[in-house]
Structure formats: structure tokens, C-alpha cells
Amino acid sequence: MRWDASCKDFKTAAQENVFEVSASIPTSEFTKSQLKEWMKPVEAPLPKFLAASGRKGMVYREPYEVTLIICTFNGPLVLSLRPAVAALSAGNPCILKLSEALLATDELLLELIPKHFELEALSAVVGGREIVTNLSKLPFDFIFLTGSVGVGKVVMRAAAEHLTPVLLELGGQNPAIVDETANVPDAAKKIVWGAMARGGQWCTSPGYAVVRLALDGVSGDATGTLLDIVGWDAKIVCYAAPTREPIKVNPLGLVAKRASIHPFFMHYPENLPKIPEKIRTAAQLVATHQLRVPIAAVYSARSFKQALARALAGGKVLLDFTDES
């Protein structure tokens, strides 16, 4: 498989592109090695009165038949080829609905699939929600979806018309809980990795962490959001206000959490030109909750200037006050 397709679409760490390819190949090899064993009939338990009469219960695995696999953008190969391997190995011909956001990967798969598979076994189409809606109305025998809750509801409603079994893998939020027994530097590194991997857009990405310090580089409604997620006796340091919006917090939240807000430098006309336009635009999205920005790097408290420089350049930072070096 051409490496550059995944790189062009994914635009993230090299190891994630390696994972996309390397995780799909072993899945196929492992499935082939286990398939004969999986296909064997399995004896099932029976009620005692039937077992006493010498009868046996057996489970014979049979295909569902035609399967629709609706793929997501954040796992262009893993969340398309791996489900396809499972479906095909069980004798189910399938259709892949590829994400329209992955132009290079879509082009490659649309080229390779007809070369290596009969049309009746595996085919692929590209499209957005309208295509999903129209496909899900067809009388498939099984539907597998990786996507949002909204799309999941659309697919499930349509599948109900045909009593089609549906397997939904939907996105969500995951908390990262760090208690007093934790190795904080180690926990910080792992939380940062989880938040950065795939641009923060994957199902196991930590959605929020209870912290004692937050750096507010947005202001406006975003400050209130920070107050919601910080822990007791937390400090919120406001070091910029590119949204030009005043800080908005619930005073009761400050009292209930015994939290405090500390200005570093706020929005002044002479400071605004120092903040890149991309940061000001992103700040507006963050303030209105339209964008989840993952943490990008961990700095010790002694490296605050470097952390601030990275933040102003567009990165997100986490300060580690446990580093005594």
C-alpha cells in the first residue's frame, strides 16, 4: 500500500501513519490463522432434562450476508480494512462507505479494491451524510458504523425499517483522573499523548482532566469552561485575550471551588499584533466550544517563557510544577 496516501490525509505523527498500515496487516494474517478454528461448530449447554436424554446442542456460525461498513475520517485504514477483514472472513460481502474527508486514501482504496476483489465481494463508495442516509435505507443484512452519535441515530432509525442488526462505535468524552498517589510527570506525559494522538480526534482521547492550574489564552466564555474543569483550590492564569471578550465566569463557581483568577497580561492594543491571526481565529472557536484543542507539550515551571512562546505560536501547553530540576 502506498505510504504517502495516509500521510497526505492524516498529517500527524509518523508513528500514527505506521499504526494505520501495520495494524491492518496483522489483523488479516491473524484472521487467516484462526479462521478454521472459528468456523468449527461449538457445543452449547442444554437444559438438564434434554442433556440427560442424550441430546446435544450445537452452534453453527453462518454469515449475516451483505454488510455495510460506514468508515470514519480519523482511522482511514484501521476503521475500514479491519472491519472488512472480519466481515469477509465470516462470508459476508460488504460495501465500504469511505469518508469524503480523506481524498488521497479514498483515491487509493477505490483504485486497489477492484484490482484485488470481485465486485460481488467488496466494493467502496465515497460520500457524506446524505450518502449514509440513502445507503442505510437499503435492506442490508448488517451495518457497522464508526462515527458520531447524530449519524448513529440516523443509521439506527433507517435500519429499524428492515430490522437490520447494527453495530455502532460512537464517539464520546473520557475523563483523565489523576489522584494523590499518581506519578504526576508520568501521568502528564500519557495524558498529553492521549490528547495529541490523531489530533485529539479519537474515541480514547482524554476529554478533560481535573487540574490545579489552568492557563487561559482565550478569555470570554472559555474562562468559564476552564473553571468548570479545574479542581479545588485551583488557579487560572489569564495571559492573553485574543477574543477581545471580557472574562466570563460564574462567581459561585469560584466560591464553591475556592478557585482564583490571576491576570498575567490581558488584551491591550500593543499586545494584539503579537498574537498570530490563526491564534485569534482559533481562540474564537475555542471560546464558542466549536473546537477541541489538544494539549501539545509539557513544560516545567522554570521554562515558563518557552511555554508562553509556544502558546503564542499556536500550541497548547501544560505546566509541570512537580519538576524540581
Residue with cell 475500514: 80
Look up residue 290 and give its DSSP letter: -
Q: What is the pLDDT of residues 33-68, one digit of tens each?
A: 999 999 999 999 998 888 889 889 999 999 999 999
Name the residue ranges covered by the structural domains of the chain: 3-170, 174-320
Partnered with residue 68 across adjacent β-strands are 95, 143
C-alpha cell belonging to residue 281: 481565529
* Residue ranges of the chain with per-residue pLDDT less than 70: 1-3, 10-16, 172-173, 175, 177-180, 184, 196, 198-201, 207-219, 229, 231, 239-244, 263-298, 301, 313-325
The predicted pLDDT at position 206 comes to 76
pTM (global) more than 0.75 = no
The residues assigned a catalytic role are 169, 203
Residue with cell 465566569: 249
The predicted pLDDT at position 34 comes to 92
CA 198 – CA 74 distance, rounded (Å): 7
The predicted pLDDT at position 295 comes to 45
Q: Under 8 Å CB-to-CB from 17, ≥6 apart: which residues? A: 3, 6, 7, 10
Q: How far is CA 287 from CA 68, 259, 293, in A?
A: 38, 20, 11
CA 122 – CA 128 distance, rounded (Å): 20
The predicted pLDDT at position 79 comes to 85
Look up residue 274 and give its DSSP letter: G
The predicted pLDDT at position 320 comes to 65
The predicted pLDDT at position 294 comes to 46
Query: What CATH topology corresponds to 3-170?
Result: Aldehyde Dehydrogenase; Chain A, domain 1 (3.40.605)
CA 247 – CA 223 distance, rounded (Å): 6
DSSP strands (E only) in 92-229: 94-99, 122-127, 142-147, 166-170, 174-176, 206-209, 211-216
The predicted pLDDT at position 262 comes to 73
Average pLDDT in the chain: 78
**Cβ(14)–Cβ(72) under 8 Å?**
no
Helix (H) / strand (E) element for 306: namely helix 304-312
C-alpha cell belonging to residue 98: 469511505
